[in-house]
Amino acid sequence: MRAKDVRERKGDDEPLTMLTAYDAPTAEVLEAAGVDLLLVGDSVGNLRLGYDSTLPVTVDQIASHTAAVARATDEAMVIADMPFLSFGADPDEAVEHAGRMLKEAEADAVKIESGPHTVELTERLTQLGIPVQAHLGLTPQHENETGLFRQGTDESAAKQILDLAHKHERAGAFSLVLEHVPANVAAQVTESISIPTIGIGAGPDCDGQVLTIDEVIGLSESVAPFSKAFGDVRGEMRSAAEAYIDAVGSGEFPADDHSHYEDDVDDIY
Ligand code: KIV
């Protein structure tokens, strides 16, 4: 799926579905399930790499996880999340980092946690042929400034999100993630712009929805109030590991079926 295909889904009866993916087998399963967009989110930091936040995640780490996801997919759009400080300081460096995601990791697009400082960058990347998904509302890379709380909850904050949505639309963003904003704010942003909105904790009226895969499959220890576990992979993983430990302990595994013997190597000492 390319940026133009995503744009064409604006207002479609069938909402866009986006999930995070950080590795090849997960990407393969999610594509087979029919997910439209795979986001290699910087949430890999806290969900998979053991960090307390997304801030330590590096360009190399996102490039490596993105390449794994891209190798495993044909149809789904692969979006690389630009990590903290990989953009926003030096515009040329930001172009280089975003370019690496397409050239080296074979992403189809990048996502940028957006604000007033990313409008020009969005325009430049789009002109260069690097599709940009903007991200407004709660932007966890700003957690030291804003905390991880609801955004756009008063009139002036909501108007700022609306204004930034329009600025990024004009700059060429092909879609917009809206995170943890009131559903009525997301509905108005969605109605007033021409690019698809993809909500997370932003109510039912966006053009699509995104969640982290760890929450959806029930792998993470906890689930955000606006998210939902649709499976119990954590429980399955633990019971498989316990069954393995029991089977090794009891001698039930490995059985003859799992072993092989060769006549010529019976007497080696
Ligand atoms: O990094 C991430 O997983 C994200 C999504 C939650 C939108 O940015």
CATH number for the domain harbouring residue 89: 3.20.20.60
Residue 152, pLDDT > 90, answer: no
Q: Which of 81, 135, 151, 197 to mutate to test the pocket of ligand 1 (most atoms within 8 A of CB)?
A: 81
Report the alpha-carbon distance of residue 186 to residue 204 in Å, rounded.
9
Query: pTM for the whole thing?
Result: 0.95
The count of structural domains within the chain is 2
Residue 112, pLDDT > 90, answer: yes
Nearest protein Cα to ligand 1, atom 5: 41
Q: Tell me what pLDDT residue 146 has.
A: 85
Q: Tell me what pLDDT residue 26 has.
A: 98
Domain assignment present for residue 269? The answer is: no
Residues 159 and 243 placed together within one structural domain of the fold: no
Give the pLDDT mean for 60-84: 98
Residues 192 and 145 placed together within one structural domain of the fold: yes
Residues 7 and 117 placed together within one structural domain of the fold: yes
CB of 83 closer than 6 A to ligand 1? no
Positions marked active-site: 179
Q: What confidence tier does 108 reach under pLDDT thresholds 50, 70, 90?
A: very high
Domain assignment present for residue 35? The answer is: yes
CA of 184 to the centre of ligand 1 (A): 21
How many Cα atoms within 13 Å fall on the side-chain side of residue 71?
Answer: 12
Q: Tell me what pLDDT residue 143 has.
A: 87
Residues 129 and 242 placed together within one structural domain of the fold: no
Residue 11, pLDDT > 90, answer: no
Residues 164 and 67 placed together within one structural domain of the fold: yes
Residues 19 and 151 placed together within one structural domain of the fold: yes
φ and ψ at residue 137, rounded to 5 degrees: 95, -130
Domain assignment present for residue 266? The answer is: no
Give bridge partners of residue 39 from the DSSP assignment: 20, 79
43 is in an annotated binding site: yes
CB of 113 closer than 6 A to ligand 1? no
Residues 72 and 169 placed together within one structural domain of the fold: yes
Domain assignment present for residue 192? The answer is: yes
Tell me the H-state helices in the chain: 3-8, 24-33, 44-47, 59-71, 91-103, 119-128, 143-146, 155-171, 183-192, 213-216, 233-250
**8: domain range?**
3-227
Q: Which of 78, 111, 141 to mutate to test the pocket of ligand 1 (most atoms within 8 A of CB)?
A: 111
